[in-house]
Amino acid sequence: MGKQKHEEHENHERWIIPYADMVTLLFAFFVVLFAMSQTDKKKMEAVASSVAQAFIGGDKGGASQRRMVNMDDQASTPPNSSPRFMVRRVTTNEEIIDELRQALDQEGFDLIMQDKLSPMDVKIDSRGVAISISAGFLFDEGSTEVRPELLPVLSVIGDVIRSSNRYALIEGHTDDRPILGNVFYSNWEVSALRATSMARTLIQHFGLDPKKITASGLAQYRPVASNDTDFGRSQNRRVEIILLNATTAADLMEDPSIPR
């Protein structure tokens, strides 16, 4: 009589191996999620810090510490273009405005373009992109020198101009009231000197090509509001930076909307 074969016992603990693998994968997954959440938190903290350092709504005596510029260093080497503009060169007027808004937001200066009472306005006209900045925001009363605390904002604008590679026209404007008790003879001098002051600042501190910049004073003869009210006069006192629809000298000659 032959030997009876013993039945093989089924291994009931085989589930442990796939279960352990699943637990390991889940652990790795949650570790990755945790790392991503920590990165986002750091980014948010950096943004909050940038906004807190902005001089608008924050320290009115200064600016973002990351964009401080020495006004006394007239012979300093012009800065290179900001890294945020190194990916692509903006070409259209709409792209330029988008870049400007994003850059101001990145530096914590987005408040200066929020509503009609803001000191800066940007629009597109037949000549190109017009950046209008209130003279009361840029200059002390009776002065033609740009306020040093405004340099961080102008640095952002300078980056956009340089990245666009366009010619720029800088215009000074005043209201219709004569200058009293001042060294200037008329609103012509005030508007011209403020325009050239802006041009000099952009060239000396932010490396713009002087061959591509023209400055002019237009006094009170190009108003954008009525001079019958204080608010209207404050709107007329301004400096406009127009990024022309031209990147070459030939473009300037071909465009009939560009003044010569």
The pLDDT tens digits for 153-203 are 999 999 999 999 999 999 999 999 987 666 777 999 999 999 999 999 999
Question: Within 10 Å of residue 215's Cβ, how many Cβ atoms?
Answer: 22
Give the model's confidence band at 148: pLDDT under 50 very low, under 70 low, under 90 confident, else very high. Answer: very high
Domain encompassing residue 203: 75-254
Give CA separation, 160 vs 113, 130, 235, 257, in Å.
16, 13, 24, 22
Residue 118: predicted pLDDT: 83
* Number of residues written out for the chain: 260
Residue 68: predicted pLDDT: 41
Residue that is written with structure tokens 């070409």 in the block? 91
Residue 203 lies in a domain: yes
Residue 35 lies in a domain: no
Q: Rounded distance, CA 245 to CA 27, Å?
A: 57
Q: Who contacts 94 (Cβ-Cβ below 8 Å, separation ≥6)?
A: 124
Q: Who contacts 255 (Cβ-Cβ below 8 Å, separation ≥6)?
A: 127, 244, 245, 246
**135 vs 259, more confident:** 135
The pLDDT tens digits for 61-100 are 333 433 444 444 433 444 444 444 434 455 799 999 999 9
- Residue 145 tokens read as 């020198």
Residue 93 lies in a domain: yes
pLDDT at position 240 over 70: yes
**Listing from the earlier edge strand, what are the strands of the sheet with 238-244?**
120-125, 128-134, 238-244, 168-173, 213-217
Residue 64 lies in a domain: no
pLDDT at position 229 over 70: yes
Residue 233 lies in a domain: yes
The pLDDT tens digits for 241-253 are 999 998 887 877 7
Q: How many domains does the structure of the chain reveal? A: 1
Q: Rounded distance, CA 23 to CA 202, Å?
A: 60
Residue 9 lies in a domain: no
pLDDT at position 214 over 90: yes
CATH code of the domain in which 137 resides: 3.30.1330.60
Q: Decide: residue 145, CB within 10 A, 0-12 exposed, 13-18 middle, 19+ buried.
A: middle
Give CA separation, 199 vs 27, 32, 48, 136, 253, in Å.
59, 50, 32, 17, 22
Q: Which residue type does 184 have?
A: F
**146 vs 59, more confident:** 146
**55 vs 220, more confident:** 220
Residue 134 lies in a domain: yes
